[in-house]
Structure 1
Amino acid sequence: MGVTHEDLTQRAMEELGAEFFATEHSTRGMRSATEEIWKANAEVDDDQTNGFKHFDGESFVAGKQRLVSLFEGTLRSLRAEDAQGGRRQLGQALHTLQDFYAHSNWIESGHSGALSSLWRPEQPLPTFAGEDTPTCEACEFVIISDGSLLVDCGHNLSTVALTSGFYGGENEVPRHASKCRHGGPTDTGPGPFGGINKDTRLQTLSPHHPLHDAAADSALEASKQFIRDLQGQLTERQLKLLFGVGPTLTVAVDTSAGMGNLLLQATRQLARLIESRIGTEQEPLRYVLVPFQGASASSVRVTSDPREFQSALAALGSSARSSCSAPSMTAVLQALEASSDEGDLFLLTQSRASDDSLASTVSGLAQRKHTRIHALLAGSCGGAASTEAAYQRLAEETGGQVFSLRATEAAVFAHLVDATVRANAVTLLALSDARGGGRSLSVPVDASLSQVTFSLSGSPSLRLTRPDGSLVSARDPGVRIAQGATGILVTVLAPAPGIWSATLTPAGAFSFQVLGESPMDVDRFEFVEAMGRLGHQGYLAPPGLPVLSSLLATARLSGDIASARFELRSPEGVLLQTLVLAPEPGGSPLEFFGPAGLSSQPFVVYGVGRSSTGDTWQRVLPGALRPRTVRLLAPATQGLLPGSRAVVSFQVHNTGAPNLFRPSVRTDPRFGARVTPDLLVLGQGQVGVFTVQWEVPRDAAPGMTATLRTTVESLAPQGMENFADVVGVVAGAPR
C-alpha cells in the first residue's frame, strides 16, 4: 500500500547508523534498537482520539509542543543511560513528525524536505489557516473512458495556508463547514466530501495518493534531521546507546566459599577478553555485574567503561563463609533488569537456587528481552548446582546452555563469552536431548560467516569435518578449542562455506549449538495480530508468549538472502511444521507474512534458504517455545504523574482447563506496585481481571520511563504462565 512508518524509521536509522558510525552493515544490537523505536512509533496509532499526535485538525501548535517535549525527553533519558526511554520517545516523536507530511497540505504547496520548525522551539511555524478559514471543497466525480466512476481530489484544496485534515472521532473538531477532511473509508467526520491524506498509494484510502511518495521522501528527510539534531546534543556514548552499537556483557557470579580458584581464573580470563576488545566493533556498549552469595545478592554494577568493569571483576573475591544455597534467581533477575535486549547472560555458581520460585519470572523476562541465559556450574558443594532444575529450565527456554566446570576449566567460560557476546552473533543450529545417544549432524555454513563455534555440553567428545572431508584439529590455523570434563567448544575462523559434519557421542543428556558471526540473520520472528485503522494498519505481537490459536506469523531477515522458508522443529531437531510465509506484494523482499496454527508441542523456529551466491543458509531463533493456554492483556503504555498513583487493569484469558492463577508484578525499585486480587479462579474460556496500583515517586523526572513487568502463573496444576509489560512514561509539559 506504500511506505509505512516502519519503513521510514528503519531506513532513517540504517542510513544514519552508516553515517554516524561508518558501519557497512547494521549490527544485531542496532537492528534491535531500531525495532524498539519503530514499535513505539506504531503504538501512536492506538490513539485515534488526540489528533495532535498525528498533526490532524490543524493542531500545529499542539503537535509542535509534543515534538519539542519528546525531543527534550529523549535527551534526558539518554543522558541518564535509559536506552528504553530514549528509544521509546524517539519512536513516538517520529510517528507524529512523519504524519505531518501525509496529513497536511505542505507537499501540495510545493514544499519538500525537513521542516525543522516543527521541533526546534526557536523557529516559528509557517503561517497556517485560521479556525474560520475555509480550506477545502468537495472532491469531484469523474467518468473515465471505460465508463467507470472515479473520484478526483486533485483540486479540492482552497487555500495556500498550511492546513491538515480533520478526522472523525478525534478531539479536534472543525469550526467551519469547509475544513478539509482526512479522508478514507474510516473517516466519518463532517466536512467536504473527500480528503487530503497521503498515507498510502491507494485511492480508496488516500484521496491525495499520487503524492504519497513525495510525502514519504520528505518524512524520511525530516526523521533523519530530527535525529541529527539529537546527535548534536549527545555524547558519542549516548548516541551509541540510542542506536544499540556494541553488544552487552552481563554476568551474575557466586562469590561463596568454594568458588575460589574458578572465580579467580574466570574473572582474569574475562578481563583479558575485555582488554582485547577495547576500541573494536566487538567492544561491549554496556557491562552488568551482579555478585551474590549466601542469603542475598549484592548491588548491581552497571557501567559503559571497560576499565571500571575490569576493576569490579578484580575486586571480586570468594567469601570465607561456605554456602551451597544462594539467591541466584534474584541475582539473575537483577542482572536482566539492568541489561540491554538481545544479549547473553552468564550465571557462574556452585549453589542451588534458594529462590527457585522466581524461575518463571526470570524466564519470562529473559524471553521478552530476547536474552539467552547460560549457567556455568562449579563442582564444589558436592555438585549441588548441577542438580538444580531451574538452571536447565532457564537455558532451554531462553536458548542458552549449561556447563559443569572444574576449578581449572575457566577457559570454557571465557570461550563461551567470546563466541556469544558479539556484534553480529547468530545461531546456526540448536539441539537438546535428554535421552542422549550418538548423533551425526549436517551444518550448513554460508560465506557470510566470519567465524563459527561448535558448542557441546554433556560430553567432551566432538568430531568435526569440513566440506572437503578434512578433520578439524587443534593444530589447524584459525582453530581454537576449550575442553572440559563435560563439554567442549571449537571455534573456526574464516570457515569454508559448505556442509560441515558434526559427530557427537554423549552418554546422557546433551545440548549442542553452532554459533557464528554474520550480518545475515532472522532479525525478527513473531506471532502477530493486525492493529490500527484501515490505511494505518500494521502487525504487532500481542504481549507475552504465543497462545494456542491460529495466528499470523511475521519474519524480517537481514543480509544477502535470495530465498527463505521457515520451519518449526522440536528441541531434538525433528521437523514439526513448515510455515507458508511470503513477502507482501510490493513490500520488502526480506519481510515475510502468513498464517501459523500452533499445537501444544514445544518448538524451535528455524529459517532456511539460499543466499544470492547460492550458499545454503540456516539460522535458529534461540529458545524453545511452548504455546500457552493463558493470555495476559494490558495497555502497552501508561501515562504517569510525579507523586501520583496509577491504576492499571489486566485481563487474564484462560483457554485451557479450569485453574487457579496467581498474578505477580515487578517494577523499578523507586516505584511501588500492589496487585489486587492476589488469586483468580478461572474456568475454561473465562476471563478474569486484576489491577495494579502503581506508585510514582514525587521526584520522577518528565520523560522518565519505568516498566511494570507482570506475570500470571497457574497453581493447580502448575506449569502454565504468561506475562505482559506496561511501560510508564512520566508526563512532562502539557501535550
Structure 2
Amino acid sequence: MFSSVTAHASLLWLTLLFCPLTETFKPLISRGDDSLTHRDITQRAIYRKTGQVCHAMATAQGQNWTLPIDDNLTAYTLSRACSPGASSLLAPAFQSVVILIYLSNAAVDVLAALSAPHHFDDETFAEGRDLVAQGAAAVKAAVNRRDFLSARISLGFACHTLQDFYSHSNWIEIGNTVPFSTLIRPDTPLDNLAGPDRATCKNCKGGDCSDNLLPEILQEEKLTSGYFSLVSPVKPPGKCSHGGFSDRTSKQDPVGGINKDDTTASHGHLHLRAAQVAINATMELLEDIRLTTGDKDFLRLVGMSQSSVLCFVVDTTGSMSDDITEAKRVSFSIIDLKRGTQEEPSEYILVPFNDPDIGPLIRTSDADIFKQHINKLSASGGGDIPEMSLSGLLLALTAAPASSDIFVFTDAPAKDAELKSTVTALTESTKSKVTFMLTDSSRSARRRQGSGSPPSNRLAEADAQLYRDLAQASGGQAIEVSKSSLPQATVIIEDSSTPALVTLLQAVRTPVRAENFSFLLDELVSNVMLYITGSSPAFTLYSPTGEAQSHELSEGPLGTIQRVGNLQRMQVNTHNRTGLWEITINSTATFTVKVRGQSSINFLFNFVEAFGRAHGDLNLKQSRPSAGKSASLLMSVTGSESLRVTEVALVPVSGSGAVKGTVEALGGEDFLVTVDELPVGNFIIHLRGETSGASRSSPILFHRQSSTQLRASRVAVTASLNGTLEPGAAITVPFTVETNTTAGSYTIRVRNDRGFSVSFPSSVTLEAGGRAEGTVTLTAPPDTPSGTDVTLTIEAEAPGATDSNYVVISFV
C-alpha cells in the first residue's frame, strides 16, 4: 500500500448506495441477454489457467488428466481433477477465493469511477498499462511475503483495468483476435497510437454506430479509445466517445461511441469477441504471475490449495499459564496430526494480547514458524483485571481469510468492551466464526491481589454475556470451563480445523418451554458433530429410523457425548441414517444448538444491490442491507457437477417469520436470490437443493445454513476514498450517514486495526429521512513498512442505540 508498486491497489469495501460514474463490462450480473460480465471473464480465466497449471503438474508426475479445459469448468470439477480424493475439501475454499477476486474486480467501478486510466478511457494507454503492470508487481510482491489476501485483492483490481482495454479501445475493430501483450510488458514500446490531434471517429448513422471509426484509422491500425465524461460534453475534435446514456461527450460530434461493454452497447455486435479476448488476456496476466511465483504458490494464490486456517487469539497475562500451555498443546497436536495431508491448515495466525500491548500479529503458512512463535508465549503482567481481548480479536478478524474459525483464550473481562459493535460488524462482513475459550481463574491464580487475599472469579455474568453475544452473532460458541478441564474442551478446536465444514442446524433460544429442532442429513455429509452450550440443558436426539438417545447416556446408539463446562459435544453416528433428524431440548436458561459436518456441498453468499443508471447492474454491498426494502444475494453453491437450488429463505434467529426468496440460476454454480422484504431482527440463511447421486437415480436432497447472524438496518453509511495512504501523510475519507426513520444525534465510531492516528466527528445530526456528512482523517506513522494493510471501520449508531450500520474500508 505504501509504495508506487502497490498504491494503486487500495480497495474500498463499502456500501455501494450510489450509482457508478462510468461504464465498463458489466461488473457482476448480465440480465436478459448473453453478455459476459467482469465476473464471467475473471472466473473463466482463473478456472482455465488453474486447469492448465494442474494439467501440467499432473503430466509431469505421470498422472492421467481427462478434464477438458473449457468454459464448463467449475470449482468442484477443477478441485476433483487437481487433487483427486480432496475435492470435498478444496472446492468451497477455492470458490471463495475466486469470489473475492471478482468482487475486487467489480469494486473498481466505484473506487476509480472517474479515473480514465483505470478503464483505458480518453486514450490513456501508457497510464493504463502502468496500472496493470503495477498491479501485477503488487500481486507478485504480496505472494512473496505470503500475504495472499492482499495479492488476491490486487489481482482483481488489475484484471478490471486490463479487461476494460478490450471493451473501450478499438483493438478488436482493427482486426485483432489475440491479447495485446504489451499491456503486461512495461518494457516494450506502445506503438501506432493515434496522436492527440488525430481524428478517429465520424458520426454514427442514426442509432447505428457499427461503422463510425474512420476508415484510415482501421487501415493504419491506429489504436484509440473512447472519451468519457459524466458532466461535460467537451472532447478533442474528431475523437471517438465511449458512448452510452451516461456519457455526455457522445452527444457532441462525432456523436455515438465505440464501447463493447455488452451486446446492446454502441459496438455491442463485437461484445462477445472482445470478452473472449479479455478472457485470454486475463489468462496471459495469470501466466505472467505464475512464471514468477511458481506453480505451488500460484495455486495457493487462486485458492486451489487453501484449506482451513488455524487462528488463535491468546491472553498472555499473569493467570493464563495453564491456558497458554493448552493452546500450545492443541495447536501442536493439530499440526503434527495433519501435516502433509489434505487437511493440513493452509495458514496459521496468532495474536497475543496483554495489557496494554496487542500483538504482534503472526501470519504464516509455515507450521514450524507458527510453532516457534506460540512456543515463545508466556504468562506475565497484566495490571488490572480486565484485558484487551476485543482489540486482539479485532486484529485477527482483519488478518484472517473470510469464513475462518477464530479461537480466543482468556479468563478475564474485556477492558475494551466498547469495541463490541466493531467486532460484530467485522464478523458480519467476514462471516468468520469466533469461539471463546473462557476459563475460571478463581482456583488457579491470585494475580493482582496480594498473596494474602482470597482469589475471586474475574468473569462476572455480564462479562461472560458479552463474549456469549459475540460468539452467537458470529456463529461460534462461548465455552466456559475450569482451567483444569480446558484440555477436554479444546477438542472443539480440533473439530473446527477440518476443512469444508458445513452448518446443518444452528439456533439460539431463551426458552419458555421445551423446543424441537430438526436437520436434514444427506449422504454427502460426514463427521457430524452436535454442540449444545448452556446450563446443562436436557436433550434427546432422534434419528430418521426412530432411534433415540438422551443426554444422560454418554455412549449410545446415536453417538458419544462428552460434557465439559457448559458444553455438551456429541459425535453423531450417522451410518445408514440419512434423512430428517430431530432434537428436543428442555432448558431453563438460554442455550445454543449447532450441528456441523463435513461436505463438498456448501454455499457462499454476498448481499449485492443495484448499481444505478449506468448498466442497471448489481455490485457488492459490504454492510448491513436496508431494512424494509427488497434485497438481493449473489450466491455460489459448490460441491457437485449437477445441482439445483430449490429454496432460499431468510430465517429470523427467533425461528419464526421466515422470508423466502426468488432464485434465478446464473449459470454454473452461481445464483441470484431476491427477497421482497428482509426479516426484522437477526436472521440466518437457509438453503435447500438437490443434486444427482453417483449411484442412484433419484436426486439427493440437501439442506445447509449460514453460520453468521445477519441483520438489516434503517441507517445507511457510505464512504469514498480520496487518494492513497502513504507513510507520514494523512488521507481523508469522506462519509455519509442517511436514515429514513429516527431523527437526532447519531454517534460516530471509527476504528482501525493498526492503531494509526485517526480524527473524526464524534456525532452527526440527522433529520428524519435526511442525511449528514463527515470526514475521517487517517495518518500512518512515517516508519510504517511498505506492504502494511489497514482496515478502517466507520460506524453510525442511532439515538438510544436502537439501530446502527457500518462501512469497512481496507487499504491494501
Query: Which deviates more, 192-201 or 5-14?
Result: 192-201
1:57 aligns with 2:140: no
> Aligned equivalents of 2:271 and 2:719: distance in 1?
34
Q: Distance in 2 between matches of 1:403 and 1:505?
A: 20
RMSD between aligned residues? 3.3
Equivalent residues in 2 for 1:314-329, closer than 5 Å: 314-319=375-380, 324-329=385-390
Which of the numbers 119, 124, 138 marks the counterpart of 2:189? 124
Name the residue aligned to 1:713: 797
Distance 1:712 1:638, change over 3 A: farther
Contact 2:121 2:228 in 1 (8 A): no
| SS of equivalent to 2:630 | strand
What is the SS of the residue equivalent to 2:490?
helix
Q: Is residue 632 of structure 2 the alignment partner of residue 553 of structure 1?
A: yes
Q: Give per-residue Cα distances to partners, 1:188-219, cap 9 Å, x unaligned.
A: 323444433222123xxx23323222221211
Q: Matched residues in 2 for 1:85 and 1:650: separation?
A: 24
> What SS does the corresponding residue of 2:79 show, helix, strand or coil?
coil
Which residue matches 2:57?
A: none
Q: Is the 8 A contact 2:645 2:663 kept in 1?
A: no
Task: Tell whether 2:265 aligns with 1:180.
Answer: no
Hey, what's the Cα distance between the residues in 1 that align with 2:44 and 2:381? Answer: 55
* Alpha carbons of structure 1 residues 399 and 213: separation in structure 2 relative to 1, 3 Å: same
Q: 1 CA distance for matches of 2:335 and 2:538?
A: 29
What letter corresponds to residue 554 of structure 1 in structure 2?
L
Q: Which amino acid is 2:338 matched to? A: R
Match of 2:569 in 1: 489
Flag the 1:445–1:15 CA change in 2: closer, same or farther, 3 A.
farther
Matched residue, 1:624: 709
Structure 2 match to 1:108 = 173
* Cα gap change, 1:717 to 1:113, in 2 (>3 Å): same
CA distance in 2 between counterparts of 1:154 and 1:274 reads 64
Q: Is the alpha carbon distance of 1:15 and 1:429 closer, same or farther for their aligned partners in structure 2, counting shifts above 3 Å?
A: farther
Question: Conserved in 1, the CA contact under 8 Å of 2:543 and 2:581?
Answer: yes
Deviation at 1:97, TM superposition (A): 0.9
Identity of aligned residues (%): 26
- Residue 722, structure 1, aligned to residue 782, structure 2: no
Greater strand share, structure number: 1
TM-score normalised per structure 1: 0.87
CA contact (8 A) 2:728 2:781 kept: yes
Alpha-carbon distance in structure 1 between the residues aligned to 2:727 and 2:233: 28
- Take 1:697 and 1:321, find their aligned partners in 2: how far apart are those partners? 27
Correspondent of 2:301 among 242, 246, 251: 242
Distance 1:264 1:703 in 2: 33
After alignment, is 228-237 or 66-75 more displaced?
228-237
Q: Is the 8 A contact 1:460 1:486 kept in 2?
A: no
Matches within 5 A, 1:277-676: 277-293=338-354, 296-297=357-358, 299-319=360-380, 324-381=385-442, 384-385=458-459, 387=461, 388=463, 389-410=465-486, 413-435=489-511, 437-458=513-534, 459=536, 462-470=539-547, 482-492=562-572, 496=576, 497-526=578-607, 528-531=608-611, 534-535=614-615, 537-559=616-638, 560=640, 561-583=643-665, 590-613=670-693, 614-635=699-720, 638-667=723-752, 669=754, 671-675=756-760
Q: Deviations over 1:248-295 (max 9, x none)?
A: 222122344554545434531332112222223322232222334566
Q: 1:240 to 1:152 in 2, by over 3 A?
A: closer
Measure, in 1, the Cα distance between the counterparts of 2:236 and 2:382: 76
Change (3 A) 1:538 1:362: same
Q: Structure 1 CA distance, aligned partners of 2:372 and 2:468?
A: 31
The corresponding residue for 2:95 is: 31
Alpha-carbon distance, 1:4 to partner:
0.1
CA distance 1:196–1:301, shift in 2 (3 Å): closer
Q: Secondary structure at the match of 2:742?
A: coil
- State the Cα deviation string for residues 121-162 of structure 1 (Å, max 9, x = none): 233345333334443344446xxxxxxxx7372575521314
Following the alignment from structure 2 to structure 1, what is the Cα–Cα distance between the partners of residues 574 and 190?
55
Q: CA, structure 1 residues 571+164, in 2 after alignment: closer, same or farther (shift >3 Å)?
A: same
Is 1:87 matched with 2:169?
no
Deviation at 1:606, TM superposition (A): 1.4
Cα distance in 2 for partners of 1:515, 1:270 equals: 21
Give the 3 Å change call, closer, same or farther, for CA 568–61 of structure 1 in structure 2.
same
Aligned partner of 2:15 in structure 1 is none
Shift in Å at residue 701 of structure 1?
A: 7.0
User: Which structure is higher in RCO with an 8 Å CA cutoff and minimum separation 6?
Assistant: 2
Aligned to 1:733: none
Query: Counterpart in 2 of 1:144?
Result: none
Structure 1 residue 84: Cα displacement: 4.1
Partner secondary structure for residue 600 of structure 1: coil
Aligned partner (choices 198, 221, 232) of residue 291 of structure 2: 232
Contact 1:373 1:394 (8 Å CA) reproduced: yes
| Structure 2 unaligned spans of 5+ | 1-32, 55-77, 81-86, 443-455, 694-698
Q: Describe the superposition over 1:440-471 as per-residue Cα deviations: whole angstroms up to 9, x where unpaired.
A: 33211233324322221123755444444456
Partner secondary structure for residue 713 of structure 2 = coil
* 1:353 alignment partner, SS class: coil
Relative to structure 1, the CA distance from residue 548 to residue 393 in structure 2 (aligned partners, 3 Å threshold; closer, same or farther) is same
Question: Alpha-carbon deviation of 1:635?
Answer: 1.2
Q: What's the counterpart of residue 74 of structure 1?
A: 139
Task: Say if 2:226 and 2:258, in contact at 8 Å, map to a contact too.
Answer: no
Q: Do the aligned partners of 1:262 and 1:409 also contact (CA within 8 Å) in 2?
A: no
CA distance in 1, matches of 2:708, 2:603: 14
> More displaced, 493-502 or 679-688?
493-502
> Which structure 1 segments of 5+ residues have no match?
142-149, 730-735
Residues 162 and 54 of structure 1, relative CA distance in 2, 3 Å threshold: farther
Partners of 2:562 and 2:332 in 1: how far apart? Answer: 17
Deviates more, 1:545-554 or 1:96-105: 545-554
Distance 1:114 1:554 in 2: 33
- Are the structure 2 counterparts of residues 300 and 64 from structure 1 closer, same or farther at C-alpha, using a change threshold of 3 Å? closer
Structure 1 residues 259 and 667 mapped into 2: Cα distance closer, same or farther (>3 Å)? closer
Bigger shift: residues 494-503 or 165-174:
165-174
Amino acid in the other structure paired with 1:713: E
C-alpha deviation, 1:694, in angstroms: 1.8
Give the conservation status (yes or no) of the 8 Å contact 2:428–2:709: no
Q: Verify the 8 A CA contact 2:385 2:413 in the aligned structure 1.
A: yes
Which residue pairs with 1:147 in the alignment? none
Which of 99, 104, 108 aligns to 1:40? It is 104
Q: Distance in 2 between matches of 1:492 and 1:162?
A: 69
1:553-603: CA deviations, max 9, x gaps? 12312223212322122213334322234346xx56732142432353322
Kindly indicate whether the alpha-carbon contact (under 8 Å) linking 1:27 and 1:423 is maintained by their aligned counterparts in 2: no
Distance of aligned partners of 1:312 and 1:491 in 2 relative to their CA distance in 1, 3 Å threshold: farther
- 2: distance between equivalents of 1:261 and 1:671? 33
TM-score between both structures, scaled by the size of structure 2: 0.80
Aligned-partner SS, 2:288: helix
Query: Any idea what the Cα deviations from partners look like across 1:459-503, whole Å, max 9, x if unmatched?
Result: 375544444445689879996754324322234588654223334
Residue type of the partner of 1:182?
H
The residue number in structure 1 matching 2:64 is none
